[in-house]
Structure formats: structure tokens, C-alpha cells
């Protein structure tokens, strides 16, 4: 598309849009008729996603770790659609290691992508969100509220992202901008599939992951997308500063509790 559409409130920037939760968000918002700026570092996958989605969209290939790329994505929304009214930030990486095995380079990379990336996207978008009384939703993780072993940098980065939600919500409430987060449990994404395939017994781990959720299965990207779309909408107009668990009941379960009431 090349013609500007002056409808900033119906324009959403989606990071990590090429696959996984970001693509799920884009699918839901496309079905709602939103104008989208699809932002991802994987240009080939982003093009494929855009082609599959159809709808009204613009593409920005770049990294959330580069503030100038984030600013360019926001400017693209302004140039193409007349402004920006919402942001769904989903870009992130999974890393593993404890305090001994996590190298300084891995620590820096994880926080750079998962936490600083969220800050850069918010920093770039905030002037437009203030102008249009918009909303931003950051995708964190249940590991921003709890932790698994051996993923120290990832856990810290997601805890930080929830702190970013809370802090920005307080700063931006007077400006009419709502700031929210989601904390998914395990979701069927390429990142989860990569992590599962690191295990010597992927099939057993697959089964274990489903069993971790009282609902009996992992989530799907569009299920997270539906929640994010709600949080971005006026239906969530009295919500800010909250990070919503979308985890199939994972963190609600008492460890060791029987699975059946009669046990």
C-alpha cells in the first residue's frame, strides 16, 4: 500500500511479526481490519507473513535492539497510515544458563533483545501514542513471575519487562496512554520448538510441557493474540499497569497437587 490513511487509532505496530506470537497478533488484528506495521529482523519470513495475512499493512525489516530501526518503524506508521495508536511488542529470544555458565556476552544479548528492545520500541512509539491516546502491550512470560532452572538471563529479562510495564504505566497514565503486559505460558512457536529439540528426548518433553498446564495443553499464538487485541482495544479502557497471565492455569497450580479431585 502506498496511499496514506489518516486513521491513527486503527494502526498498530507489531514487533516480532514474522512468526510465533507476533504473527498470531497480526492475524487477529488483520481480521479486525486494523492497519499494521509489521516489524521483524527476518525479512524473508516477514514477507511471507505479510503475503499470507493480506489486509492493510506496511513492512519494516530491522531490529528492536536498534533505536533508529524502532523510530523508522514508527515513522512508517505515520507516513503510511497517518499515525500510530497501538503497539504489540513480541520480539524476544530464549537463552539458557545459570550464574556460572551464562557468559557476559549471552547475558548482554538476552537483556538487549528482551528488555532493552521493549524499552526502545516504547521510547520510539510513545510520542505518537501520547498524541493519539493509544496503548502498548509488551509480551513477557510466566518466567517474568516465576522461574525455571537454567534460564537465568531470560528470567531476569522477563521480570524486567514486567517492571517496564508497571513503571511506564505510572508515567503515561496522565498522558492518556495505557501500558499493559501479557505473560504467556508455553506457546507453540518456532522458539519453543527449537528449545524442545535441544532435549535428548523431545517427545517426552513435549508431553511434559502439555502436562504443566492444568488446561491440558500448550497455547497457540492466536490465543495470545486475542488477549493482546483485547488489551489494545477500548474494551480494556480501564486497564493499565497490569500484566495478564495467559498460561492455561500454569502458575495457579500448587506444585504436587493431585490432578483429580478424588485422588
Residues 120 and 87: their CA atoms lie apart, in Å, by 12
Nine cell digits for residue 151 = 534460564
Helix, strand, coil % (nearest 5) of the chain?
50, 15, 35
Burial bucket for residue 210 (CB in 10 Å: 0-12, 13-18, 19+): middle
Nine cell digits for residue 26 = 497480526
Residues 169 and 136: their CA atoms lie apart, in Å, by 10
Q: Of these residues, 81, 119, 120, 154, which one is catalytic?
A: 154
Residues 35 and 151: their CA atoms lie apart, in Å, by 36
DSSP string of 48-105, one letter each residue:
HHHHHH-SEEEEEE--TT-HHHHHHHHHHHHHHHS---EEEE-------B-TTTS-HH
Residues 162 and 183: their CA atoms lie apart, in Å, by 9
Residue 154 falls in the annotated catalytic set? yes
List residues with catalytic annotation. 154
Amino acid at each position: 500500500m502506498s496511499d496514506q490513511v489518516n486513521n491513527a487509532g486503527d494502526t498498530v505496530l507489531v514487533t516480532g511479526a514474522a512468526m510465533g506470537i507476533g504473527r498470531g497478533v497480526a492475524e487477529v488484528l488483520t481480521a479486525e481490519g486494523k492497519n499494521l506495521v509489521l516489524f521483524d529482523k527476518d525479512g524473508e519470513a516477514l514477507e511471507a507473513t505479510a503475503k499470507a495475512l493480506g489486509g492493510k499493512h506496511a513492512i519494516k525489516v530491522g531490529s528492536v535492539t536498534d533505536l533508529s530501526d524502532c523510530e523508522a518503524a514508527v515513522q512508517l506508521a505515520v507516513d503510511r497510515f497517518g499515525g500510530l495508536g497501538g503497539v504489540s511488542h513480541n520480539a524476544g529470544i530464549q537463552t539458557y544458563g545459570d550464574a556460572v555458565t551464562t557468559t557476559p556476552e549471552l547475558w548482554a544479548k538476552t537483556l538487549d533483545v528482551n528488555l532493552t528492545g521493549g524499552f526502545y520500541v516504547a521510547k520510539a512509539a510513545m510520542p505518537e501514542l501520547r498524541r493519539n491516546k493509544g496503548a502498548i502491550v509488551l509480551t513477557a512470560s510466566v518466567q517474568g513471575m516465576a522461574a525455571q532452572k537454567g534460564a537465568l538471563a531470560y528470567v531476569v529479562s522477563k521480570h524486567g519487562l514486567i517492571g517496564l510495564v508497571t513503571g511506564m504505566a505510572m508515567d503515561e497514565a496522565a498522558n492518556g496512554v495505557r501500558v499493559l503486559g501479557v505473560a504467556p505460558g508455553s506457546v507453540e512457536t518456532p522458539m519453543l520448538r527449537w528449545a524442545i529439540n535441544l532435549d535428548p528426548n523431545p517427545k517426552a518433553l513435549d508431553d511434559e510441557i502439555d502436562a504443566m498446564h492444568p488446561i491440558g495443553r500448550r497455547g497457540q499464538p492466536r490465543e495470545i493474540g486475542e488477549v493482546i487485541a483485547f488489551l489494545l482495544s477500548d474494551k480494556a479502557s480501564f486497564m493499565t499497569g497490569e500484566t495478564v497471565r495467559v498460561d492455561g492455569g500454569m502458575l495457579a497450580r500448587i506444585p504436587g497437587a493431585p490432578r483429580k479431585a478424588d485422588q
